[in-house]
Structure 1
């Protein structure tokens, strides 16, 4: 059944008993399990809840605070060449002005962590979105995938903001990369959701060798994805502040999970043909959502960066990365 993703995400965060461990505190596997289950339920909803949980982890990591009761946070950190948001200090307070595109939950979020330019430096700010200086704008999203995430542009007109850490603090920490692995856990949950159509149909196709071949491959892919996340969680908990290891681990996990998600979509489509895509609305939406969501990966550029990390990493022998 299709859901109102923003409304459900808000209810889960503000009215439910959502209790998700912070990464690197010993229960990272449980955090990844919850993120996976949220996107297995609904990919767009899970993506919105993940952003709130990421904001909570960023605040805890940088300033030792947590999100408040009844609040629903976004993390708006896209940095295209233009438009941009600038930060200036006036009469002892920081103010943001400009436009920030690619803001998911632009209507439903009550607060957001927003990156802005402070001179030639990038800095993160916490913003109460319910003030007059913030205007959310919908529109421009023509894709079927992730269409219910309320992704739009936030416009700031001298909106009051609070700096979160020093310039560069958002990126210069292991937690930034732990958050990237959390997104990969969401991709994995989306892959499981897409695969559900094949598992459901398998009982009727037991004598179809091609369907069974694809089912076997999908089942192995999902087992691989679970093993990757389990390994990542143990690695994070063993060295929560090791930024070099976290950077390389995030690149490995995100690329691997993108391949798993892509292969699952392809194999389910080839096994079942067009029927579920044209007659099962929830499945068709999940395929569209996951196809857009994994494009948060930078694809081949991420592999280039990973290759350079491998060459530069003289502290981790090859055998320890297998």
Structure 2
């Protein structure tokens, strides 16, 4: 991971010692005087390897670092300078209640956010976030100081056993000043949107690697039977496929050609690999690690909820729609393959 970032070794060490607590990772992110590394500039593979490494150790560590790096990439793509000494998130999910942005009456005034935003991970802990809100004609991203009056996380509603210390609760905004990041709909239309989507899959992949290591250690600890060998071999084969897909996607990101079709393929592939490894671990190891091995049980729980950022068949349906809309699929019977 030759990223030239001063935090790499410290982040890996913090992941090894955090035991599911994100605060040591967030404090480290605040200490760096360097701009975070940005994907799509020749070092995407190294960035995703870092996220996967953190995820293989503790998924909470990856879950804390990935949005910080995503926010840095979004701001860089919008031409906005990074603010050292801060921790960042990205709040872009939608719910039944809407967050709206009101344009300033005068050019020198601020935009204001009002409403509710769901799934705002660590909103009560982070310093800043890139937040999407509804504006006339679409949605727009904004940079928001989360320490301002009027930002009210709905603390105490997060009950998940997975990623328990990464509360992803709703946040209410009451006329909170915000700075635009890009034009209307730029956030979703920008090339980096697909790159950020695959970065999340790199975190999932790291969780699957952690499960594989438990399988491998169990096979080493006693004479494995044919079924244990078959499960281990299948897990290795799946991880090799996922690693190859991520590697190729990283090359596409650096070449500026990674589109949402590719991102959906990689995310779906990695999500399926992770779900299969969760099943393999249960079949191969039985209930004992889930009942008595805290690290393994926590990893299974963390990965289970983290994977729900992939919407299963709905994301496959979205991919199918993209394939039919692509120019090459207009000829009858001829598609991307």
How far apart, in 2, do the equivalents of 1:153 and 1:308 lie?
30
Q: Name 1:85's counterpart in structure 2.
A: 99
Per-residue deviation at 1:320? 11
**Residue 285 (structure 2) pairs with residue 285 (structure 1):** no
TM-score by length of 1: 0.91
Per-residue deviation at 1:66? 4.2
How far apart, in 1, do the equivalents of 2:127 and 2:200 lie?
21
The count of residues paired between Structure 1 and Structure 2 equals 316
1:86 aligned counterpart, secondary structure: strand
How far apart, in 2, do the equivalents of 1:283 and 1:200 lie?
12
Determine if contact 2:219/2:228 at 8 Å carries over to the other structure. Answer: yes
Determine if contact 1:113/1:125 at 8 Å carries over to the other structure. Answer: yes
Structure 1 gaps of 5+ residues are: none
How far apart, in 2, do the equivalents of 1:17 and 1:34 lie?
19
Q: 1:198 aligns with which of 215, 218, 243?
A: 215
Q: Name 1:249's counterpart in structure 2.
A: 262
Q: 1:119 aligns with which of 107, 116, 136?
A: 136
Q: Name 1:107's counterpart in structure 2.
A: 124
**Residue 313 (structure 2) pairs with residue 296 (structure 1):** no
Q: Name 1:275's counterpart in structure 2.
A: 288
Q: Deviations over 1:41-82 (max 9, x none)?
A: 2112211210010000011112x2343211000101111122
1:145 aligned counterpart, secondary structure: coil
1:282 aligned counterpart, secondary structure: helix
How far apart, in 1, do the equivalents of 2:126 and 2:197 lie?
21
Q: Name 2:88's counterpart in structure 1.
A: 73
Determine if contact 2:37/2:69 at 8 Å carries over to the other structure. Answer: no
Per-residue deviation at 1:125? 0.7
How far apart, in 2, do the equivalents of 1:25 and 1:61 lie?
11
Structure 2 gaps of 5+ residues are: 1-16
2:140 aligned counterpart, secondary structure: strand
1:291 aligned counterpart, secondary structure: helix
Determine if contact 1:99/1:153 at 8 Å carries over to the other structure. Answer: yes
TM-score by length of 2: 0.87
Alignment of structure 1 residues 210-225 onto 2, 5 Å: 210-225=227-242
Determine if contact 1:75/1:112 at 8 Å carries over to the other structure. Answer: yes
2:267 aligned counterpart, secondary structure: helix
How far apart, in 1, do the equivalents of 2:47 and 2:70 lie?
11
CA RMSD in angstroms, aligned pairs only: 2.3
